[in-house]
Amino acid sequence: MKNGFWIFIAVFLALGGSWCGFVLAPELQLGGAKQTTVLNTSDVYPVGRPGEATQGSSVYRANGCAACHTEQVRQTGMTCGVTLTEAGKNPQAVTNLISSLVLINLTKEAADAASAKITAGGGKTEIHITATGPDIARGWGMRQSVAEDYLYDQPVQLGSLRAGPDLANAGARADANWQLLHLYAPKSEVKGSAMPPFRYLFEVRKIGREPSPDALKLPPEFAPPAGYEVVPRPEARELAAYLLSLRANAPLYSAPISP
Amino acid sequence: MSEMKTPDARAEIPDPMIDASLRLPLLALFGGAAFWLVVSSVLAMIASIKFHAPDFLAACPWLIYGRVQPAADDALLYGFCIPAGLGVALWLVAQLGQAPLRGAIVPVVAAKLWHLGVLVGLIGILSGNSTGFAWLEFPRAGSVILFFAYLLLALWAMMNFAARRERALHPSHWFLVAALLWFPWTYSTANLFLVAWPVRGVVQGIIGWWFANNLIFLWLALVGVGTAFYFLPKFSGRPLQSYYLALFAFWTLILFGTWCGIPPGAPLPAWMPTLSSVAATLTVVPVLAIAIIMWKTLRGPTSGCNITPAPLSSLSANEVGGEGRGEVASLSLNSNPLAPSPLPAQAGRGSRQQSQAAPPTNCEPKGGPFCFIRFGFASFVLSSLMFIAMACPRISRVTEFTWFGPAQTQLQLYGFFAMTMFGAIYHLLPRVVGVELPFPKLARLQFWLSMSGVLLFIVPLAIGGVEQGMKLNNPGIAFMDATNAMLPFLRTSTVGLLLILLGNLLFALIFFAMTFVWGKSLLKKAHAIVTAPLKNQEVKA
Domain ranges of chain A: 36-72+165-245, 77-132
Which of A3, A5, A6, A15 is the best residue to mutate to test the B interface, defined by the most B CB atoms within 10 Å of its own CB?
Answer: A15
- Among A241, A256, A247, A258, smallest CA distance to A56 is for A241
Q: Which residues fall within 8 angstroms of residue A233, CB to CB, at 6 or more apart? A: A201, A202, A203
* B63 or B315, higher pLDDT: B63
Q: Are B246 and B327 in contact (CB under 8 A)?
A: no
User: In angstroms, what separates the C-alpha of A148 from chain B's closest C-alpha?
Assistant: 8
Instruction: Tell whether the model's pLDDT for residue B305 goes beyond 70.
Output: no
CA distance A240 to B278: 41
The CATH number that applies at residue B249 is 1.20.210.10
A67 and chain B in contact, CB less than 8 A? yes
Out of B200, B258, B487, closest to residue A15 by CB: B258
Report which DSSP code applies to A66. G
Instruction: Tell whether the model's pLDDT for residue B417 goes beyond 50.
Output: yes
User: In angstroms, what separates the C-alpha of A200 from chain B's closest C-alpha?
Assistant: 6
Backbone phi, psi, residue A152, to 5°? -105, 10
Half-sphere exposure of B140 (CA within 13 A, CB side): 7
Rounded to 10 degrees, what is the CA torsion of B426, B431, B434, B439? 20
B329 and chain A in contact, CB less than 8 A? no
For position B537, what pLDDT does the model report? Answer: 57
CA distance B226 to B85: 10
Alpha carbon distance, N-terminus to C-terminus of chain A: 61
A9 and chain B in contact, CB less than 8 A? no
Residue B397 lies in a domain: yes
CA distance B273 to B215: 19
Interface ipTM: 0.93
CA-CA-CA-CA torsion sign (B443, B448, B453, B459): positive
CA distance B438 to B311: 11
Q: Are B411 and B454 in contact (CB under 8 A)?
A: yes
Q: Which of A107-116, A221-230, B105-114, B367-376 has the highest average model confidence (pLDDT)?
A: B105-114
Range of the domain at B332: 13-534
Give the residue from chain A lying closest to B470, CA to CA: A134
Q: Which amino acid is at B532?
A: A
Mean pLDDT, consecutive 10-residue stretches, chain A (259 aa), reads: 85 96 95 88 90 95 95 92 84 85 87 89 88 94 93 92 95 94 94 92 92 92 92 96 94 89
Out of A4, A31, A65, closest to residue B199 by CB: A31
Which of B202, B410, B479 is the best residue to mutate to test the A interface, defined by the most A CB atoms within 10 Å of its own CB?
Answer: B202
> Do B402 and A14 lie within an 8 Å CB cutoff?
no
Half-sphere exposure of B405 (CA within 13 A, CB side): 22
How many domains does the structure of chain B reveal? Answer: 1
Residues comprising chain B, all counted: 541
CA distance B376 to B366: 14
CA distances from B508 to B91, B417, B516 (A): 20, 17, 12
Confidence of residue B15 (pLDDT cuts 50, 70, 90): confident
* pLDDT tens-digit readout, A59-116: 999 999 999 999 999 999 999 998 888 888 888 888 888 888 888 888 888 998 988 8
> Do A7 and B181 lie within an 8 Å CB cutoff?
yes
B 470-529 residues with CB below 8 A of A? 472-475, 479-480, 483-484, 486-487
> Do B65 and A196 lie within an 8 Å CB cutoff?
yes
Helical residues (DSSP H) of chain A, grouped into ranges? 4-19, 25-30, 51-62, 91-99, 108-120, 134-137, 170-173, 176-184, 186-189, 234-245
- Among B406, B384, B498, B383, smallest CA distance to B452 is for B498
3-state secondary structure string across B464-515:
HHHHHHHHHCCCCCCHHHHHHHHHHHHHHHHHHHHHHHHHHHHHHHHHHHHH
For position B3, what pLDDT does the model report? Answer: 39
Residue B466 lies in a domain: yes
> Do A74 and B265 lie within an 8 Å CB cutoff?
yes
- Collect all residues of chain B within an 8 Å Cβ-Cβ radius of residue A191: 480
For position B288, what pLDDT does the model report? Answer: 96
A 81-100 residues with CB below 8 A of B? none
For position B343, what pLDDT does the model report? Answer: 36
DSSP per-residue letters across B50-99? TTT-TTTTTT-GGGSHHHHHHHHHHIIIIIIIHHHHHHHHHHHHHHHHT-
User: In angstroms, what separates the C-alpha of B201 from chain A's closest C-alpha?
Assistant: 4
Cα of A211 vs its chain's centroid, Å: 36
Query: Of B70-84, B331-345, B372-386, which range is least confident?
Result: B331-345
For position A88, what pLDDT does the model report? Answer: 80
Q: Which CATH architecture has domain A36-72+165-245?
A: Orthogonal Bundle (1.10)
- Among B29, B6, B5, smallest CA distance to B428 is for B29
Confidence of residue B539 (pLDDT cuts 50, 70, 90): low
- Among A128, A217, A126, smallest CA distance to A175 is for A217
Instruction: Tell whether the model's pLDDT for residue B107 goes beyond 80.
Output: yes
Q: What is the mean pLDDT of residues B165-181?
A: 93
Rounded to 10 degrees, what is the CA torsion of B183, A25, A6, B94? 0
A 102-161 residues with CB below 8 A of B? 134, 137-138, 144-161
- Collect all residues of chain B within an 8 Å Cβ-Cβ radius of residue A18: 210, 214, 258-259
Angle between helices B105-126 and B16-49 (to 10 degrees): 0
Angle between helices B271-282 and B369-390 (to 10 degrees): 140
Residue B2: how many CB atoms within 10 A of its CB?
7
Give the residue from chain A lying closest to B259, CA to CA: A18
Q: Are B68 and B46 in contact (CB under 8 A)?
A: yes
Out of B198, B267, B486, closest to residue A149 by CB: B267
Q: A78 by DSSP, 3-state: which? A: strand
Out of A10, A27, A153, closest to residue B254 by CB: A10
- Collect all residues of chain A within an 8 Å Cβ-Cβ radius of residue B275: 21
Residue B255 lies in a domain: yes
For position B532, what pLDDT does the model report? Answer: 78
Confidence of residue B540 (pLDDT cuts 50, 70, 90): low
Q: A101 by DSSP, 3-state: which? A: coil
Instruction: Tell whether the model's pLDDT for residue B72 goes beyond 90.
Output: yes
Residue B17: how many CB atoms within 10 A of its CB?
12
* pLDDT tens-digit readout, B422-453: 999 999 999 999 888 888 889 999 999 999 99
Give the residue from chain A lying closest to B167, CA to CA: A3
* pLDDT tens-digit readout, B207-216: 999 999 999 9
